[in-house]
A and B are shown apart, each in its own frame.
Chain A
């Protein structure tokens, strides 16, 4: 009983995104499994009662407990996750919704220790449908933004005609049609939205001197923008985030923070905001210290999470406790208007690249078009980095350009799943692929230990080679269904019944020449060569391993006649 009370007391302090509190509570939940139901009641009650923003943190706590402790928590709460999730989603603003979506992604991918889905599949599907619906409304919202913009363009055109402006207006109208008529993917919507915000700032705001550099010793959360995140389109609808800022004055003198962080303060009104960017620095150390200790939902409960994992799939919500200013600042980073050098040691330098993307000769239509290209998280990151380049002079770029560390990391840590066997890297959301890759290493090491004999294959001829796809060489087939895990279907183990005429139980695979021993199958009441098949065009007892057969077939078309001919020669 006491444990529950204690838990509730600590839970009530979860008014900001605090990793230590969440960790502590998770630990408490873990050691008091016998009162799991009461703990969950406390959490659920809190989710329904508190302010929208705090709901998120409580949901994070639930996330942490379910991922870390697993059973019984994830099972007990299982049937309620949709209700909880949709409740929080409906009452939240855009930025929180983004985080919720990310949280949901981790739910889909996380497996419990027993390799089961974290939550019941039907609940996850319900959430998925719910999110899909919610996103459809996004189209409408973007159309509204365009509708706001169009009159401005028209009046500008009336005052001062320019082809460029005309072109942009046309592009906007086309985009409006696209939005009206077709369903777009989430990432496409996000990038369109960010483009629109850029245009909005450019067209409605006062002109900004290009490339103002603010030298600010701020250490911002180092999570890198993954994708242009959505700008809050209607700031008035924001939950009263600032008011819930806890007054924790004990932190500013924390010796761990040698640099007093400062953030440029910004008026909340979006359009005129950029012009006042370089103004009065705003001291916000409290917030800063909290950000360092944010809880971020990770795939396997992010025990090792640190801010340097620049592109953890779920980390594009940098300050998860936003003041408006901070949030806007973040959005600007996300759309690439403000960039910074990711240098972990020194003070950070921010640059304002006033809509560079648009100033480039490619034009607005091109930019909008580019945002239609689907990209995974890594590709987004790459796109962001590469579009910072200005390669007018190829030679000059090669000679003089100094690549930023983020840029270099595209070759390394940005794909931070590195195989310890061979050094191959995988994207953070390619856990499945990496698993297949490791399985493959394992299989091969085993095979080589057994000392199997193999030979080179012929090179393909021109026609075959031209049609060949290199995917067939790799250790994994490309499967596009990481979301809902299918229960593993027990595949039938192939076997060849040993002919009664055969006196020798030992046989060998015609491909790898490994000895295959006969085993007795109780169900069949027969002696069999397990995992073997009789290749087409052959008769028992001439057998091959099913795996050998499939691999050879995969690599070299259907022509397996080589096997037949070889025997004749030997």
Chain B
């Protein structure tokens, strides 16, 4: 945690003039790891050689502005890489959190990039084989490698998935990046699960380092077009049934896209996950079957590797699945909860307001609650406790009428989500609500639950007297007449 020599700023007061330029020289294979708090902005550029951040190559002599990041620049080629940076205070975040006010940085000679690159080339070799095959056999096409990345907390899963997607893109592929970790919003906000074809570079300056999605005009970087499923909690454990359900529904649509798009099909999928363990084996199994996973990459966890190999032996023997391990990078840092929370907030903010390069203007409007049906995702613990008080025996009536059947069907969905009957400040205010694609006329709970997200709104105020919600709408225009599902993700502007 070396402080930058000669640089003392932050709490003591702003000193814009003090942007001393520091130069860093990396030899081939070295990695420069650095953390920049939200309070500061690092202006970074490559002056010589080639450097990349998680597979995304940096432009030469063109400045990047990074804030609130934990990144590393890797020098892949013999010519090495020379970087230059200086710091300034971030305008917006200078007084927000109680995080440190200094950057930390060091050069590491010992990293796993060589193995990660080998992994990429091995996969690319497979992609080549498959795309050649598909070209020659257009009627019986195969799908490129579908890679599931698994590892414990802080093992670098997301980093690896970024590296693999970037490298694949650089070799003219268009891999599908699937994010199953609801903690991070990938091309969306936290609480969502997404699949996104990677058809261009990642935008390192954006929160999370992924980049933006389509907007009404041109963007600074080419946008991506994800499909978004709403899970609604940041922890996948909160409602395992719902989580699994949404994995299934995301898997189905993803596979459907692969069928329609040969470029993506040749390239395959890269699936990033939350820290799953053997306790979550059923989830792992769901992912494998829904996404037709044929490669599992385990990050630095021998025990998990051995357990998975044992459990999935039948698939390995029949050559449907290959389980590979790669070492965990020493550079992975443990994230503090406050940092995670801050990132989530920033990514929601970015969804509505854009970032410094690409400011967006959200739209404030009011909706009358009577006009809408709002559902809310349910915590499993809450659902279980509600069961305890439910009158027993109702649903086990042997001579159930048709009406009862329907009711029973509806009850099936109780464990996932429930219609909000009594609105209150508590269950609405400052929450993020997902707008589904199902029109209000469609009352089918199944359709509503399976529907993908059209966009998110933020409830800034519940006006009980008028029975109205003041909301922040990302897209100007009419409020879609669609069913709404409230998430459990909170946000204050």
Contacts and interface: CB of A to CB of B under 8 A. Distances in A.
A147 interface: no
B477 A386 contact: no
Nearest to B323: A395
B250 to A, nearest CB: 10
Contacts of B404: none
Interface in A461-497: 461-462, 465-471, 473-475
A243 interface: no
Contacts of B476: 455, 562, 566, 569-570
A8 B125 CA distance: 53
Contact of B118 (A401, A418, A460): A401
Interface string A159-201: 0000000000000000000000000000000000000000000
B326 A398 contact: yes
Contacts of B118: 397-399, 401, 403
Interface in A387-424: 389, 391, 394-395, 397-399, 401-403, 405, 407-413, 415, 418-424
B199 A425 contact: no
A329 to B, nearest CB: 26
Given A403-B117, A412-B50, A444 B59 contact: no
A398 B122 CA distance: 7
B265 interface: no
Interface in B4-48: none
B244 interface: no
A552 B474 CA distance: 16
Contacts of A397: 118, 122
Contact of B324 (A395, A467, A548, A555): A395
Given A457-B216, A459-B455, A474-B222, A389 B77 contact: no
A75 interface: no
Given A422-B201, A459-B228, A466-B256, A447 B325 contact: no
B360 to A, nearest CB: 5
Contact of A456 (B132, B197, B474): B474
Nearest to B249: A462
A453 B124 CA distance: 41
B114 to A, nearest CB: 8
A568 B476 CA distance: 11
Contacts of B477: 561-563, 565-566, 569
A465 B474 contact: no
Given A407-B121, A412-B76, A456-B213, A394 B227 contact: no
A507 B188 CA distance: 34
Given A456-B360, A458-B475, A470-B174, A465 B225 contact: yes
Interface in B226-262: 226-228, 253, 256-257, 260-261
A137 interface: no
Interface in B319-366: 322, 324-326, 351-352, 354, 357-363, 365
B200 A473 contact: yes
A455 B215 contact: yes
Contact of B352 (A395, A456, A556): A456
- Size class of the contact patch on chain A: 35 or more
Most buried by B among A373, A453, A466: A466
Contacts of A272: none
Nearest to A383: B128
Contact of A382 (B171, B227, B365, B474): B171
Contacts, number: 224
Nearest to A401: B118
A254 interface: no
B337 to A, nearest CB: 28
Nearest to A440: B218
A447 B58 CA distance: 23
A512 B361 CA distance: 11
B136 A459 contact: no
A425 B220 CA distance: 17
A386 B477 CA distance: 51
A470 B197 contact: yes
Nearest to A474: B222
A410 B172 CA distance: 11
A398 B455 CA distance: 40
A164 B278 CA distance: 47
Interface string A494-518: 0000000000000000011000000
A144 interface: no
A552 B294 CA distance: 38
A403 B121 contact: yes
Nearest to B56: A423
A254 B307 CA distance: 64
Interface string B93-123: 0000000000000000000001101110110
Contact of B454 (A401, A443, A448, A461): A461
B429 interface: no
Contacts of A424: 200-201
B136 A411 contact: no
Contacts of A568: 478
B437 interface: yes
B357 A389 contact: no
Nearest to A382: B171
Contact of B59 (A410, A421, A566): A421
Contact of B227 (A370, A462, A569): A462
Given A394-B122, A405-B78, A412-B77, A565 B478 contact: yes
A174 B58 CA distance: 49
A425 B376 CA distance: 45
Contacts of B3: none
A119 interface: no
Contacts of B167: 411
A470 B215 contact: no
B452 A462 contact: yes
A378 interface: yes
Interface string A133-161: 00000000000000000000000000000
Contact of B217 (A413, A511, A563, A566): A511
A153 B435 CA distance: 69
A467 B225 CA distance: 12
B295 to A, nearest CB: 8
Contacts of B136: 369, 372-373
A454 interface: yes
B381 interface: no
B272 interface: no
Most buried by A among B58, B117, B217, B226: B217
A447 B216 CA distance: 13
A408 B224 contact: no
A386 B130 CA distance: 13
A448 B201 CA distance: 20
A551 interface: yes
Contact of B453 (A459, A467, A471, A548): A459
B156 to A, nearest CB: 15
A488 B136 CA distance: 38
A37 interface: no
A453 B361 contact: yes
16 contacts: A397-B118, A418-B59, A422-B221, A453-B361, A454-B360, A455-B475, A457-B213, A459-B453, A462-B451, A465-B225, A470-B264, A473-B225, A474-B222, A562-B475, A566-B477, A569-B479
Given A453-B359, A454-B215, A457-B215, 8 more contacts: A409-B77, A415-B170, A420-B61, A444-B220, A455-B363, A461-B454, A462-B437, A562-B477
Interface of B: 50, 56-62, 76-78, 114-115, 117-119, 121-122, 124-125, 128, 132, 135-136, 167, 170-172, 174, 188, 197, 199-201, 213-228, 253, 256-257, 260-261, 263-264, 322, 324-326, 351-352, 354, 357-363, 365, 435, 437, 451-455, 474-480
Nearest 4 A-B pairs (CB), nearest first? A565-B478, A562-B477, A470-B199, A423-B59
Interface of A: 369-370, 372-374, 378-379, 382-383, 386, 389, 391, 394-395, 397-399, 401-403, 405, 407-413, 415, 418-425, 440, 443-444, 447-448, 452-462, 465-471, 473-475, 511-512, 548, 551-552, 555-556, 561-563, 565-566, 568-570
